[in-house]
Structures are given as structure tokens and as C-alpha cells.
Chain A
Amino acid sequence: MTVDYLIDLIPFATDFPGLVFIAVIIACAVPIFMFIAVYALVAIYAELKVSSFMQDKVGPMGQGVGLHAGKWGLLQPVADALKLILKEDIIPSTADRKLFIMAPFIVFIGAFITMAALPFSPTIIVADMNIGIFYILAVSSLGIIGLILAGWSSNNKWSLYGAMRSAAQIVSYEIPAAMSIIGVIMLTSTLSMQGIIEHQSGFVWGILPNWIIFQNPFTFLSFFIFFMSGVAECNRTPFDIPEAESELVAGAFTEYSGMRYAFFFLSEYANMFVVSGVAVTAFLGGWQSPIPGLMDSSGWGLFWFMSKSLFLIFVMMWFRWTWPRLRVDQLMSVCWKGFIPIAFFNIFGIGLWKLIIG
């Protein structure tokens, strides 16, 4: 919607359609990129502090700007970012140069373009397509190719192991995620992101907001299946075997340093945000306020969307610092023998519910 809106604004758009289109796209992409960068800094800081408090530490602390890590360690992520930028760029001599350089970009692109369809508020959405959620599910798989390229081109047994495990994991967990979304689509009869959110306005069961998670018990279960599959897709604990530090050093990214590593890092956090964003849109009402009627003008939409997404990201961090990790074959059996049958069961249940009751 924002792209269309901007195109409408420019008076002489019809004279140079191609040029204007490209200019508008860049004008919309840059804020998203800025958003990812800033959000990544905030997320890194949050991870450090959340983990520290859970582990009975205080984490990075400082006395003020320029002293140590800034007051309460606020400059720590800035220091991290600077460090990664200033590091030497090492490409192993036996690595496949072209693939090695290409891999981080593909992974980042896969995470970046999904942000185009996230509905931040009723009026802020870069591309309001009527196949929004389908587009996100399709395009988020692009990252796997980058991961495999990274593992293969490093010419390192450990990276290969990590990449293979990671690819198997992400591909497998896409299935329960997609199946949970199918349940949502059955209820809302539309693939467009804004359409799904608009379906969730009003009340259900009297006092609860009409979010899909509350509409029937099968969608309640679907939310958890989707969220856990999303955690697995981001390679977060308990599914972080591809980057298990105690076994594989850094998994597929062992040979990367400096800015290239920063790109992988950035795309992992971007992925987390996308997964949370889709979960919020599909199940938790998107930019709708939890109490319909209270603070629900379109200006507040951005606030609700961001707070719900950030809460889900906090829950992901909570998981990471509490649970140990699953072994690869246990991970796979949880997906294929656990999540997928439950997801099937959910689709069936949602259909029946809608037929009989709704």
C-alpha cells in the first residue's frame, strides 16, 4: 500500500513508469533496511540483558557515554556493530570464492524481502498484495539456499555438517508452519495480510477480542505449532543444533568473519522478527488493540503490532536461555512424528468447527 500510495503522489508518474517505480521501491526499501538495522541493535541488547537477568548476572554495564559500555551497557550493541565492521575480511584460500561471497547476500535477501509484506499498521505496509501470506511463506525459503552455499563453499567439514543439518531442519519445519497458516486461511477466506487482520476485529466469546487464537481450540493449538515451527526455522534453541557452539564451533558460519558474519547475524534476527510478525498477524490480531474500542485508531496500530511482535521475540529469547537443545534426529522426529500429525489434525478440526458451529 505504501508503494502504491507513493506512486499516486508523484504527479508525472505515467511519463516515466519504470524509473518512478524503481525510485519508489528504493524509497520504501531504505526505511525497512534502517528498521532492520535499528531493530537488530535493540534485539542484541535485549538478548544480552534478558539472558543476564535469567542467569543471575547483570550483563554489560557502564557509567555513561564513552565510559565502558555506556550507561547500563546501552552502547554495547553499537560496539558490537563497529567491531564487526572493522574486522579483517578473511576468505579461506581453499574456499570457493564466488559462492563464499554470494552466500550471505542470498540469506539476507531471503529475510529482507519478506519484510515487504508485513502489515505494521493499517496504512504502513510496503506491498499490500492480495496473496500476502502466501508470498511470505514462499519467499522465506530462499534463505536455505544461502545457508547451503555457505556451508559448502567454506571447504570445511564442520561447516558442511552444520549446513546440512540446518537445511534439513528448515525444510522440514516449513511444513507444519504452512499447515497452521492453512487453518487460518480457511477461517478468513483471504490470503491478504490486511484482510486477515480485518477479519479479527470485534469480540468473540463475549469479552475476548476476536483474534483467531481465541476463536476455537484448534486454532489455539495451531498457534503453538506455528510458533514452535517458527523458532525452529530461525535456528534458535531448542532447535539450534546447526549452530551448536559446543559441537560445531559456529556451524555453517565457522569460516565467516567481519561484515559477512554480521549479515548472517542480521538475517537471523530479521527472520525472528518475520516469524513473530506473521504469528501476530495470523493469530494475534495484527495491529488490532486487545480491547476493541480502546486505543484502536490507525495511529495506534503500529504500537500494537510492534509490542506484540517484540513480546514474541522476548519469548523466543526466554526459550533460548532456559532449555537445552535437541539432537538432530530428535529434532526431525519431533517435526515429522509430532508437529505434522497435529497440524493435520488441526486443519481437520478447524474445518469441522467452521462447518458445524461457525
Chain B
Amino acid sequence: MKEIGSIRAEEMVLNIGPQHPSTHGVLRLKVKTDGEIVSEVIPIIGYLHRCFEKHAENITYEQVIPFTDRCDYIASMNNNFGFVVAMEELMDIKVPERVEYIRVIMAELNRIASHLLALGVYGLDIGAFTPFLHMFRDRERILDIFELTCGARLLYNYMWVGGVSHDLPRNFETICIDFLDYFEPNIPEFNQLLTTNKIFIERTADVGVMPAEVAISYGVSGPNLRGSGVKWDVRKDEPYSVYDKFDFEIPVGTGDHGTLGDCWDRYWVRMLEMQESCNIIRQALKAIPDNGDVHAMVPKKIRPPKGSIYRRTESPRGDLGYYIISDGSPTPFRLKMRSPALTSLSVLDEISAGWMISDVIAILGSLDIVLGEIDR
């Protein structure tokens, strides 16, 4: 409450309620505003809490994998990948080469699909309806590839401890190369339509600046951290699987339009990452060994030795980590999923103070959260 002369101005509490058209999931934001200027944003989560961690203590390790799919339902392959990499490090299993390459291809395809969704929905939040549909059209083709391989479009249960569930179909390489040849020329088209559009730049440049120290302190990772100029990617800095065999760049935000670490930079990093993923997939398709049994190293019964491990991998949203404590039995003693979107959401309050309500929507869209992962 402020007193200006004899007029009182009160802060208004606005509720961007659990159901709202920005399709991030069920998230409630209590926004304290003074007119249009926001002074505080309080996110209230827990609407999608499905007790994943408690549940995991009652089921076997193999049965956990479909549940990890459902946490971040947009990048299920990467969720599986993280769990499986952690388990294999705990149990000291070395998987065949072919499995490693298949996993990388699937993870990168899913990264492209996830970024397409994130960028399309971001355009929708800003008001551009058309790029959303163009990006979804391309995403459909990726989902068709997944359906061809493992039968599922969105939640795959594909990566098992020690292998993958289905081998690649016969004509996979042709189909994949066809898709990449079709998709890569579309990226400049998206840039023309949305990225370099003056109105889009005005809405996103200089808005929601996240300095690098704030980002690291809040534990932000992935494209959000790279948009602030920090060159950190788990695939290069703590490599897992066969990522050290590929030659790819880590795009970092440079403050091209506006300040370093604004919404435009985060958007731009995701755009560039899609291009890099295409490179990785092409290299993987060339280098993949021709034969090998994908079920060779899948253990009959998973009984990891006693111990604990924390291993993180790079999901499209950031550092996805699994802390697994095993007591030698077939069910986990404690399974914690460290979700990158939770840290991204916690930084929302810090970077949106002082902006307007429309900007809060823009900033939230640029952080690319998925409520399934936050609530687990």
C-alpha cells in the first residue's frame, strides 16, 4: 500500500490460475502487481504430483522406467536415458556399441522434438499462431519415426538397463536422413517468420535478463544457463555414452539483440541446438555398427550392489539427475529425480520483478518448463 497525498494505492493480487491457455501444464502463479508492473511472482505447484519417488520404492528397477517417461512427457527418451546411464554406472555394465549409438540417435531426435514444441508454444504465448503449427507439423514426423521404432508416439519405455527395447527397423537410416534433409531447410524459415521478426524481438529482447551468477546459484542449467553465456553442457563436460566421439558445438547466448541472458537469447540457443542435434544424428548414423544384439547386456534381474550414485545427463531442459540409493534388493531404496524445470521455475520470481504481466508470460515461456517434471 502506498499513500500518495490522500489517495491510497494497493497492490493487486492476480491469479494466473491452474487452468490457463499457455500450455505449460497446471501451474498457478500468484502475481502481485501495481497496475501493470509486477512486484512478486509466487508459483504454486503440486497439482500434478503423482508420488513418483514414493512409488519407486515399491517397484523394481525395470518397472521404474515407464514412470520416468511420464515425468517429463515431452522428452521421454532423455528421461529414460538419464535413469539408464545412472543405473549402468551403479551396476558397472558396459553396453554394446550399437546400443550406445541407437540411444544417442533417439535422444537427439527427442531433443529436436522437445525444442520444436517449446519454441512453437513460445510463439503462441507471444501471439504468433502460425509458427506453432509449422513446428508441430515437423514434430509429427519425428513422432512417426518413434512410432516406427518402438510403437509409441509419446511415452516410449524404450531404453532399458543394459540395452534398448527394440532394435532399429530395416530402413531406419533412409527414413531418418529423409527427415533431416526435409527439416534442416525449415530452420531458416522459422527464423524468418519468428526469430528475426521485429515485433518478436521487441517482446523478448532485454526482457527477463538472467545474469550468469544468479543462474548458477539457482541451479539453472541447460539452454537457460547457456543463454546467459555460460558454456556448460553435460554432454561435453561430463560425457556419458558415446558423446565424446561426436564433433558438435555448444551454442551460447551472445546478447545479439539486447542484453545477454534475456528471453531472446534463450530462444536463440534452442534454435541453434536443434541444428547441432541434426549434426549429431548424421554423424551417429554414419558411425553406427551394423550388427549387434540390443538385448545382449540386459540383465535377467536387476540387483545393483549396495551403494549410491548421482549421475546427471543433458535433457532438453537442462541437467537431469538421478540420485539412486540401492540396498542390494531388486527395488530401489531411494530414487530421487532432480528435475531441471524445478530450478528454472524457482528463478522466475527473481527475473520477472519489475516487468509487466505480458512479460511474465513471455519469461515463463522462455524458461521452457514442463509441470510433469516439476511435480513428478
Contact = CB atoms under 8 A, between A and B. Distances in A.
B174 to A, nearest CB: 24
A246 B22 contact: yes
A328 B359 CA distance: 10
Given A56-B134, A327-B359, A238 B127 contact: yes
Contacts of B133: 55-57
Interface string B1-24: 000000000001010000011100
B356 A328 contact: yes
Given A57-B133, A324-B200, A324-B203, A247 B357 contact: yes
A158 B19 CA distance: 14
B20 A249 contact: yes
Interface string B119-150: 00001111111100110010000000000000
A161 B22 CA distance: 18
Contacts of B361: 246-247
Given A55-B130, A238-B127, A328-B36, A245 B194 contact: no
B7 to A, nearest CB: 18
Interface string B92-133: 000000000000000000000000000000011111111001
B127 A55 contact: no
B263 to A, nearest CB: 12
Interface in B319-362: 356-359, 361
Contact of A246 (B125, B130, B194, B199): B125
B126 A325 contact: yes
Contact of A54 (B126, B130, B358, B359): B130
Nearest to B125: A246
B293 interface: no
Contacts of A105: none
A323 B199 contact: yes
Interface of B is mostly: helix
B197 interface: yes
Contacts of B123: 324
B202 interface: yes
A326 B128 contact: no
Interface in A25-70: 51, 54-57
A327 B356 contact: yes
Interface residues of B, number: 29
Contacts of B36: 328-329
A106 B175 CA distance: 59
Nearest to A57: B133
B352 to A, nearest CB: 14
A157 interface: yes
A51 B22 CA distance: 20
A6 interface: no
Given A51-B129, A237-B127, A324 B137 contact: no
B356 A321 contact: no
A165 to B, nearest CB: 9
A244 interface: yes
A213 to B, nearest CB: 24
Interface string A308-337: 000000000000111111111110000000
Interface string A82-101: 00000000000000000000
Contacts of B125: 246
Given A240-B127, A324-B127, 6 more contacts: A51-B129, A55-B133, A55-B134, A247-B361, A324-B199, A324-B200
Interface of A: 51, 54-57, 157-158, 161, 237-238, 240-241, 244-247, 249, 320-330
Interface of B: 12, 14, 20-22, 36, 123-130, 133-134, 137, 193-194, 197, 199-200, 202-203, 356-359, 361
